[in-house]
Structure 1
């Protein structure tokens, strides 16, 4: 059960980070390659 809880926690954290990155891309409107 502990392994399942850890898995769920990691998935939720991963989706949170992906969501944050997605919001930044949507708000910036520019591809990451253009910033470098």
Structure 2
């Protein structure tokens, strides 16, 4: 459901702020990869 998705994204965004730069870089790479594969 859409609502649950938004909640997950909010949790993830909060977690993202706590991440190290290295993890952020990996996350951005992964996000880009997901966009490419769609």
TM-score, normalised relative to structure 2: 0.49
Give unmatched runs, 5+ long, in structure 1.
Answer: 24-36
Unaligned runs of 5+ in 2: 1-18
Q: How many residues align?
A: 20
Any runs of at least 4 consecutive aligned residues in structure 1 with deviations exceeding 6 A, and if so which?
Answer: none
Length-normalised TM-score, structure 1: 0.51
Q: CA RMSD in A?
A: 1.5
**Looking at CA atoms only, which structure, 1 or 2, has the larger radius of gyration?**
1
Q: Distance in 2 between matches of 1:18 and 1:6?
A: 18
Higher relative contact order (CA 8 A, sep 6+): 2
